[in-house]
Structures are given as C-alpha cells and as structure tokens.
Structure 1
Amino acid sequence: MQEELLLKIIQNQQEIIDLLQSELKISNAASSNVESITIFPKSDKDIEGFKTHLINKGRSKNCIDTYVKGVELFFRQYATLNSENLSKYEQELKNKWKPKTVNLRICGMTAYMEYVGFKDYQFHRAKEQKRTFCDNAINKEQYEHLISWAKDNSQKVWLITKVIAGTGVRVSELVNLKTAMLEQGYADIIGKGNKQRRIYFPDRLIKDIKNYCGKTYIIENRFGGQMTSRGVSSLLIKAAPKAGVPKEVMHPHSFRHFFAKEFLKQNNDITLLGDLLGHSDISTTAIYTRLTSEEQAQQINEVVGW
C-alpha cells in the first residue's frame, strides 16, 4: 500500500515537470518570433528610480520635471516600450508641437531609455529655426526701471534680479547660493550637466545686497526656507504688470542674458564670459551677443547713410 502511494506521488511530480518543460518551450518559441520586446532591467517603469538617476547626474529640478513629464505622457498613451510605439510617439510629437518642445520630450525619453537599458530605437531631433535676434531678454532701460520699482515695492524681486544680473547664474543655481558665500566673494557650484565652476560676487553687488539676504540662503521664501526655481519664476511673472515691465522679459534667464550683454560691453572676452556662464561650447555663449530686433534696427539706421 505504501509503495503504491509513493509511486503515485512520483508519477504526479513527473507530470508537473513535463508540463513546466512544455510551457517553457512554448514561451521560448514565442519570444523568438517577436521583433522587439520590452525589457525593464529596473522594476516596472520605475519612474521614481529615473528621478533619482537624474538627480545623481546633476540635472536641475526643471529639467527633471520636464523629462519625467515626457516619460509619463508616453506611458499614458502606450503601455509598452518598444520601437513601434516610440516611432509613433515621435511622429505624433512632431505633428503636434513646436521643435523646441519636441526636442525636450525626445531628450527626456532618450535619458529614460538609457536608464532602463533599452537600445532598440533612436530618435531624430526636430530642426529648430534659429533666430538672428533675441527679443525676450530685458534691456537696460527696462532693467533700471524694474530695479527702481522693486527696491520700494518688492525687495525679493529686487534681490533676485540683482543677483542674477550681477553674477549670470542660472535660476537652479541661484536658489542654492548661501549668504555665507558673500564673505569669500565667490562660490564653487555644480551647474548644468554636473559641471563645476566658480561664480564671483562683485564688490558692488555684495555692498548692495548684504543687508537684504536670508539667514541661510541669499534668496529665501516667506517662511525663511530655500526657494524653488518655480517659485522664483512665478514671483517675477506676477511682478511684471505691477512694475510696468513686459511679461515676456520677466523670467530668470532674461537677467542671465542681461548679465552677458552688459559684460561684453565692458569686456569683449567671450571665452571668459563662457567660463563664467558655465558653457562648454563657445557657440552657446555667442547666442548672448545677439541684439533685439529693435537694437538691430537702431544700429542699421546709425550705419546706413547712403
């Protein structure tokens, strides 16, 4: 009786083994007929892990938010990461959005594909038409008007504009500057692309702002904590109509551009300017030499007398 029971158990086990082997063969055969399958070395889509990956690479908060949003938009429409879906997504982007937005989405998806180890598709960036003028940067007259208004009406806006216009820092770098750094006159910071550079606080700037900075950070929120890049941008936009300055020039990068143009008026060393701004390519720095369309017209009128 005991031998019969043991024999039955062995037979059942053998049936289970045969069944598993059969399913494994079917699975392998099916896989061999699929051109592109989704492989996630990380768990599921791992958006949080992707965020951490971008932080570790030194990406700014705005960059991380943009990249993550693009990846989330892809997965809302497509459940699977494969070449066919990526091709459809790329075409839809190019049909719907301007080249700048398309390329931001493409950069985000490319970074994500690198993170998860997917190498079966390559995006093609949209061609951006480069303008020969720059009309979204604040000019000197507007800047002086803003500074005059802000000193009496919004000291935080005044402080933000003074620091960016006096150092050329990016907004993501601005929010990390500490008041103690003013003592040494410079700050060694990690900027875009995880690159380290030194920015300087001119003596005149230190004298102007030292009594208006926060206890820990040069720029602090109303609770005495560190401000976010988005908070800075929002503050500037809200101040535009009150200050009588065009809304399109009231953004952090506008004052970085102002720093570059004013610097070149006093010192034509574009290589030094590139170092101060954290550019690895001098062609990027050259963008800051562009005049507004109004300035171009004025110079043409001064030159052409024939």
Structure 2
Amino acid sequence: MKTITELEEFMTRPSDALKKDLTQLDGDLMILGVGGKMGPTMAKMVKRAVDEATIPKRVIGVSRFSSGQLKKELNDSGIETIAADLLDDQAMHALPDVKNIIYMAGNKFGTVGNEHFTWAMNAYLPGRVAEKFKNSRIVAFSTGNVYPLTSISSTNCSEDTPVNPIGEYAQSCLGRERILTYFSYKNKTPMLMFRLNYAIDLRYGVLLEIAKQVYDGKTIDLTMGNVNVIWQGDANEYAVRSLLHCDSPPKVLNVTGPETLSVRWLAEEFAKRFDETPIFRSEEDTKALLNNASKAHRLFGYPKVSVQEMIDMITEWVKSEGSTFNKPTHFQEREGAF
C-alpha cells in the first residue's frame, strides 16, 4: 500500500456489520467537524455502506472548509457538505435537523496559550449542539485523556474508572461530557461518549511517529513506555455503529485496541524491518495512559486490522516516503500540556 488512493479505499471499505447496523438506523447522518483527521474517511465509509446496501440515507459533513480541496473531495464522493463555523449561532441554527449526529468538533493542539478557545470549543459549544439537536441521537467524540495515568501492570481504565484529567485540554474534554450529559438529562437526548485513544492510519499516529524516529535515527523517549492504538477505519466503524447504543443518561464507551503495547517493543519491531538500531533514552515509567476497551470489543468485535498489519503497512509507507499530515500526537505528554 503506497498511495493515498489505496489507503483510503482500504480504510473506507464498509463491513457487512456496518451495513446491517445502518439498515436498522432511522434517519439521515451528519458529521459535525468532518474536516479533522478522521472525519473524511468516516464520511466516505458511511456513504459507501449506504450505497452498497441501497439504504435511503443522506450523509452530510459539516466543517469550516476554510482551505484545501476537502469540500470538493467529499462532494465528488456523493457526500453533502455544509460550510459552517459551529461557534456562530446563526450558522449552527441554520443546520438541518438530522436524526443521527457524529459530533467530532473540538480543539486539542495549541491549547497552551489559547486555553479560552479550547474551552469554548470543548465545553461551551457542546451545549449549543445539544440544544440544536435535542431530538437526535448523538455520538460525541471524547478522549481517554479524561482518565488518570494507570499502572502498566493493571487492567487499565474501564468505563467505571473514576476520571481525573490532567491538564486543561483533558479537563475541557470532561467539561464537554458533563455539559452534554446535562442536556441529555434535560431533553432526554440519547447520547454516547466515545472515549478514544489512539487512532492511527499511515499518515499520522503513534506508530508512524515511532517508525519515523527509528528510520531517521532519532532518540526515542521511553518515559511513556506503553500505549494503546486502534486502526482509524476500525475506530470510525465503531463510532457509526455506536449510534444504535445511545441512551439517556449517556453511555460511555472506551475505544482502542485490545493490546497494551510497549514503545520499546514497537521501536524494535520497526528497527528489524528497517535494518536499523533504535536509540532510547530514559526508562519506562510504571504508569501510562491506558484504556480497557473490552466493552467496545464485546459490542463490535475485535478490530479487523491487527498491530502486526499496522506495523507492516507503516514500514512500507515510511520506506516509500508516503505523505503525512505532520500532526504529532504528543502521546509522550504526561502533564497534559498540548
């Protein structure tokens, strides 16, 4: 897999389970914040699914669409697009009333020094969205960062683990959840909090960052010595299928892969494939940001793309100098300063 066309064809290929769930879902589907890293392939996956299963369902993507060709790209794929700044009340209220909402809009990177904007996006805007779409189902993207760092020898954080977010980004994400929960109680809106970490594809993510560090001979910090990851295509499918599991009060769902992965082991796996020697510094801390997503796996099955497949695909992508988003995850961050 060496081209974006090949990558997106693979990542947007809908499963039979997704098609089946979409047939059971009444109403159209709208993605708020479709312009992020995950939104475009999610929209294309849903559109392919409804077309292949001949389901009469509109797929709509909302974003500012302030630069690039994404609006045309989505339109060319048969996806309706609406250019809107969700912080603009007039633009928000002009959006069509749609039964199924995937809420992806938010802010993470650049929070330090711009905390007010992050709080507006992550904690104020959700209330506006909840009021506008009070008669919809809402799957709201959240993050595993709302949990504390946990011992690598534990069973990781489940949905029942008490939250304890570190830093303003994670705190504002918990604010998002709390505000949405308030409106779910008030309006009986069925919702689900989608606590994700870390989605990857070949153009961004934890595995790509480790691979490039090995390939370029850069030093790898082992302090955050363990991680969870999930293929973006699997995470997108889980999100859409979660629309059938929304409830009031909201459900919470952790989403990641089943393995706790050693950063050292990942680097060594890439080193074998690149015929390089990884360079490390520091030692693994006994705690890391780790989630237990067994509930999601029970609902939707294990991710279809395995860790070894991801490692192999990323190896070839790096060797062939495939394009990247150049958006680091900062997964090493332990103080919540993004």
Measured against the shorter chain, the TM-score band is: under 0.3
TM-score calculated relative to the size of structure 1? 0.25
More strand by share: 2
TM-score calculated relative to the size of structure 2? 0.23
More helix by share: 1
Return the index of the structure with the highest Cα Rg: 1
